[in-house]
């Protein structure tokens, strides 16, 4: 787990510096969209390197298997629903800011991320099969803005599912595990284990 004291440093690459130097001059053009896509792609690559270096620099750690694209996808959904300081910090961690004001162009950033995830979602009848799936599980009755729901479903093909964690945590756990099992063709059957028994004080 990465705590608040274990910040992953983010640095700009020469490619990002070159993009940033002229990007403000071409706003509202197709070239602007292309350069934002480049920033997004480089940002995810830098995120992967930063996470890898973080674990390599630790004195001791177990074997770690992670998916930078999955991490970026989860952060993207948080970015979609954030603003202000939270938006700035997540954008920095993802590397998509890169010194560029993307606040007014956040829709383009999300659409570029969505296109990248769609490129990974491909099926082959011969050898390889790559499936990308995402869902947000919220407490039943918790309000979700229509704009957030629309963009998360349309751009990221994300599902937003309501569960009653408060009154039936066991059923919520089973529903999440079932969802994961279905989306991974049974490869991952359990992602949330049995809850610990609470010991009264």
- How many CA atoms does the CB half-sphere of 5 hold within 13 Å? 0
**Terminal CA-to-CA distance of the chain, rounded, Å?**
28
Q: What is the mean pLDDT of the chain?
A: 76
CA distances from 133 to 37, 120, 177, 185 (A): 21, 11, 14, 12
Pick the residue with more confidence: 166 or 43?
166
Q: Is 188 left (phi over 0), alpha (psi -120 to 50) or beta?
A: beta
Mean pLDDT of 153-160: 90
| 167 has pLDDT over 60 | yes
User: Where does the pLDDT of residue 168 fall: very low under 50, low under 70, confident under 90, or very high at 90 and above?
Assistant: very high
pLDDT of residue 196: 58
Write down all domains in the chain, each with its CATH number in brackets. Answer: 7-123 (no CATH), 133-193 (3.30.497.10)
Show contacts of 52-59: CB within 8 Å, 24+ apart.
54/2, 54/6, 54/8
| 39 has pLDDT over 50 | yes
Is residue 99 within 8 A of residue 12, CB to CB? The reply is yes
pLDDT of residue 122: 57
| 2 has pLDDT over 50 | no
User: Where does the pLDDT of residue 3 fall: very low under 50, low under 70, confident under 90, or very high at 90 and above?
Assistant: very low
User: Where does the pLDDT of residue 69 fall: very low under 50, low under 70, confident under 90, or very high at 90 and above?
Assistant: confident
pLDDT of residue 27: 58
Burial 128-137 (b: 16+ CB within 10 A, else e): eeeebebebe
The per-residue pLDDT for range 95-143, each reduced to its tens digit, is 766 555 555 567 777 877 887 777 766 554 555 677 778 899 999 999 9
Q: Which residues contact 139 (CB under 8 A, 6 or more apart)?
A: 162, 163, 164, 165, 166
């Amino acid at each position: 787990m990465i705590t608040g004291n274990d910040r992953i440093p983010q640095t700009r690459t020469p490619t990002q510096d070159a993009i940033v130097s002229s990007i403000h001059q071409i706003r509202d053009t197709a070239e602007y969209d292309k350069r934002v896509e480049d920033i997004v792609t480089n940002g995810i690559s830098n995120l992967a390197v930063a996470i890898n270096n973080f674990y390599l620099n630790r004195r001791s750690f177990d074997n770690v298997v992670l998916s930078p694209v999955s991490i970026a996808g989860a952060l993207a959904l948080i970015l979609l629903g954030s603003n202000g300081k939270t938006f700035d910090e997540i954008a920095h961690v993802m590397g998509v800011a890169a010194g560029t004001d993307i606040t007014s162009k956040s829709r383009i950033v999300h659409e570029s991320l969505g296109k990248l995830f769609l490129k990974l979602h491909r099926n082959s009848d011969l050898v390889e099969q790559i499936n990308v799936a995402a869902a947000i599980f919220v407490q039943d009755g918790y309000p979700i803005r229509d704009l957030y729901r629309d963009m998360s479903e349309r751009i990221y093909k994300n599902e937003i599912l309501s569960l009653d964690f408060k009154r039936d945590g066991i059923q919520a756990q089973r529903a999440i595990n079932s969802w994961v099992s279905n989306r991974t063709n049974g490869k991952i059957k359990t992602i949330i284990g049995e809850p610990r028994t609470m010991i009264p004080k």
